[in-house]
Amino acid sequence: MKQILLSAHIVTLVLLLFACGGGSKTSSVQEGGDTLKMKYATNLSVVKFPDYTMVSIRNPWDTLKTLHTYLLTDKTRPVPENLPEGTVVRVPLEQAVVYSVVHGSVLKELGCAESIKGVCNLEYFKMPEIQDGCRKGTVVDCGNSMNPDIEKIIDLHPDAILLSPFENSGGYGRVGKLGVPVIECADYMETSPLGRAEWLRFYGLLVGQAQKGDSLFAQIEKEYLAVKALAAKATFHPTVLSDLKYGSAWYIAGGQSTTGCLYADAGAAYVFAALPNSGSVPMAFETVFDKGENADFWLIKYNQSHDKTYRELQKDYSLYARFKAFRERRIYGCNTHRIPFYEESPFHPEVLLKDMVKIFHPELLEGYEPKYFSKLAE
């Protein structure tokens, strides 16, 4: 599970907080342009000019600053003169290195899986296009994202490297010095499920599928809001606890996280809703037990070859049996070994929300079979 979390959130990436990550840069300033309005994404802005598109990513950890500015230019034409300051990215991407299975899945959904020519953390990529490509030699395994094989990346001559930034990560190392645009995929720092999903529009621009990115997001938004409206009809709001203890810590999603938002939109009362964080916070078991002992439901994720049972869960940690949700058999699990939760759910929150509504308010979605979560067996 820990490894899957690393893959899902790309925490293995070595990134700079403020670095521009390679690629051509220019320094003059232009004004005007047509702003592409973002309805939910708070860390992303897009302005279209006649010869290029400017994409600015706000620093999620210091919102008064910009993390990175990209200037997307048509690769079939010469680079425009007098561009403003930013990293020039020649689009559409055709030779990308992708660190995360999440963004690999996004490019596939945009119909551009063939643009992925290199990956890090290959073991997490379940996409047939990637696994088959590596066997045939059309996709290169660039090693672990913590220590990528720089020589392999250089040999690929990539047109961009897609990875996710982390606060105080210590820098990109040699990757940031290759002269290749580094696309900082900070979508995971959005605080709403639709905010993260809206980054599909940016990724569509990168691979020449702007219209498809827009239409995909519009459909996701429509379905999400419909399910949210359905959940709003519920008169009872059960309490819910999430995840499991790993080692000495229990990593709890903050109340301002996308998980916290999903629980609220599904008509549930998250026991840590008051926690102001947008990311995960390590807590001692005793702290979690004090808040979650009487939670009505408990949703867990794990990664193993077989589905977890109540007996196994108690064997893992005997004190789990003290929770009300354990005693009343209201634990729902997602086995990420066989279910593509981390690959799909970040950019399909409408499906995850539907699962949650079915669990918390089954009468509202009669006939629906959850995609990710199922009841634990004895």
Residue after which a domain boundary falls, among 221, 251, 277? 221
Pairing status of strand 116-119 against strand 140-141: parallel
Residues 215 and 257 in one domain: no
Q: CA 163 to CA 203: how far, in whole Å?
A: 12
- CATH number of the domain within which 338 lies: 3.40.50.1980
Domain assignment of residue 161, yes or no:
yes
Contact residues for 166 (Cβ-Cβ < 8 A; gap 6+)? 10, 11, 13, 15
The pLDDT score that the predictor gives to residue 350 is: 98
Q: Is the pTM of this model over 0.75?
A: yes
Residues 204 and 236 in one domain: no
Task: Judge residue 66's burial from the number of C-beta atoms within 10 Å of its C-beta, 0-12 exposed, 13-18 middle, 19 or more buried.
Answer: middle
Q: Where are the alpha helices (DSSP H) in 293-348?
A: 310-316, 324-327, 341-344
Residues 191 and 252 in one domain: no
Residue after which a domain boundary falls, among 175, 194, 221? 221
Domain assignment of residue 214, yes or no:
yes
The pLDDT score that the predictor gives to residue 173 is: 79
Q: CA 128 to CA 239: how far, in whole Å?
A: 39
Q: CA 371 to CA 357: how far, in whole Å?
A: 12
Domain count, the chain: 2
Pairing status of strand 374-375 against strand 331-335: antiparallel
Q: Which residues of 19-35 are buried (b: 16+ CB within 10 A; e: fewer)?
A: bbbbbeebeeeeeeeee
Domain of residue 49: give its range. Answer: 2-221
Residues 182 and 306 in one domain: no
Closest CA to 184 of 276, 61, 75: 61
Closest CA to 249 of 303, 275, 285: 285
Domain assignment of residue 18, yes or no:
yes
Domain assignment of residue 212, yes or no:
yes
Residues 264 and 165 in one domain: no
Residues 117 and 174 in one domain: yes
Tens of pLDDT, residue by residue, the chain (378 residues): 434 444 444 333 333 322 333 444 443 345 679 999 999 999 999 999 999 999 999 999 899 999 999 999 999 999 999 999 999 999 999 999 999 999 999 999 999 999 999 999 999 998 999 999 999 999 999 999 988 999 999 999 999 999 988 876 666 778 888 999 999 999 998 989 999 999 999 999 999 999 999 999 999 999 999 999 999 999 999 999 999 999 999 999 999 899 999 999 999 999 999 999 888 899 999 999 999 999 999 999 999 999 999 999 999 999 999 999 999 999 999 999 999 999 999 999 999 999 999 999 999 999 999 999 999 999
Please say whether the beta carbons of 185 and 191 come within 8 A: no
Residue after which a domain boundary falls, among 194, 221, 248? 221
Please say whether the beta carbons of 191 and 261 come within 8 A: yes
Domain assignment of residue 87, yes or no:
yes
Residues 16 and 110 in one domain: yes
Residues 306 and 166 in one domain: no
Residues 244 and 214 in one domain: no
- DSSP 8-state symbol, 46: E
Residues 301 and 363 in one domain: yes
Residues 71 and 201 in one domain: yes
Helices (H) and strands (E) in the chain, counts: 13, 21
Residues 190 and 113 in one domain: yes
Domain assignment of residue 227, yes or no:
no
